[in-house]
A and B are shown apart, each in its own frame.
Chain A
Amino acid sequence: MINQKDSAWDNLIAKRISQHLQQFHAADSATLRRTFLRGVAGLGIGSWFLGAQRAQASPRRDDGDEKIATVLPNPIPGGAMPLGILVHHFPLPSSAATPLDSINDPSEITDFNGFIGDTHIRGAGSGTGFASPLAYQTDMGFMQGEYIGQDGRHHHGTFCFI
């Protein structure tokens, strides 16, 4: 289980995210709408680490009026073991022949009631310094809805898996 994290790694990520948010998203003030069919905005990223800090500083009930969730959910208890390391995530099947009703939980967060989207794609692209196409793989998705946060209280939020 990977709960022990390299502090240098954490600090580097937190610093970079903080710099990015200050530079690009300080003025982002789009209003939150609680509708089934959601609108789309290009600048919607939140900071995992800043969110955690805010949650610790001022725990409260999320009544859905927040633009970005500030209280973290808990991970699903199980998961896959890539390279022998447990991660709290079940990758989608690597073959389209796998029946849909045999998939594992596509959500990465537990105590969750909401919508999920998950995808596994392999394609091509171009990268700096490479004359030939590069290959890519994306295993990504989202979770949107009600959850019980790490503070033990009910919240609403949207989370992106990258």
Chain B
Amino acid sequence: MDIYTGPVGQANLTQQIHDYSPGIGPKGLFWIIPVSQESVMIDLDNARASLRLSDVPVMDAHDLANALTGGKGLANPPIPPIAPVPATVSFDIEWSGALAEAKIVNEAENFRGEYVETGVTINWSAHQAGFDFVSEAPNPSRNIYSVLGHEQNGFFFHTE
């Protein structure tokens, strides 16, 4: 979850001022955390789902470069090192409305599944010492690309 001072609709690294994530986990697991099953509701047949969580503890790494390097910054493009600070985020994401459907079998990446491209809205906020952020009202026009699906990959790609 990233915040920029730049124009809405763009995501320029040099204009980024906040980068919220739970960090990179063991074996390189990227920005994911286990949550309760009740946090997710999915009805794939009707192209609907939701993901709702409150007060999720994360770190604000300031920008993507510091998020990926553990606060060490980057030489090129030049991004100064910035130490992460604790924060919390809350969000309500709602997927709805089928835009396209596809069955995919990708031998190169070892995954297969049935997918639906959908509309989406999000309502989210962030809180940390000295800064609060509140997103605009849920706006379907802000969707860039959203997908729901049921898939098998890795071991399960080869067994079904």
Contacts and interface: CB of A to CB of B under 8 A. Distances in A.
Contacts of B111: 105, 107
B26, B65, B146, B152 interface centre (most CB from chain A within 10 Å) = B26
Interface string B1-28: 1111111111101010100111111111
A44 B156 contact: no
Interface string A118-144: 111111111111100111111011111
A142 B51 contact: yes
Contact of B30 (A13, A30, A87): A87
B35 A45 contact: yes
A16 B57 contact: yes
A12 B150 CA distance: 35
Contact of B146 (A98, A120, A128): A120
Contacts of B17: 134
B28, B42, B95, B130 interface centre (most CB from chain A within 10 Å) = B28
Contacts of A162: 1, 20-22, 31-33, 56, 58, 89
- The interface size bin for chain B is 35 or more
A89 B36 contact: no
Given A1-B28, A45-B57, A150-B27, A135 B147 contact: no
A124 B88 CA distance: 19
Interface residues of A, number: 109
Interface in A48-96: 48-49, 51-52, 67-70, 72-79, 82-83, 85, 87-89, 92-96
Given A41-B38, A162-B56, A114 B151 contact: yes
Interface string B97-117: 001111110100111010101
A43 interface: yes
B135 to A, nearest CB: 4
Contacts of B39: 40-41, 44-45, 142, 158, 160
A13 B67 CA distance: 12
A105 B109 contact: yes
B65 to A, nearest CB: 6
A136 B147 contact: no
Contacts of B13: 83
Nearest to B138: A123
Interface string B28-57: 111111111111111110000111111111
Interface in B92-146: 93, 95, 99-104, 106, 109-111, 113, 115, 117, 120, 122, 124, 130-136, 139, 142-146
Contact of B156 (A43, A99, A113, A157): A113
Contact of B144 (A12, A33, A67, A122): A122
5 contacts: A16-B59, A72-B26, A127-B132, A136-B4, A140-B1
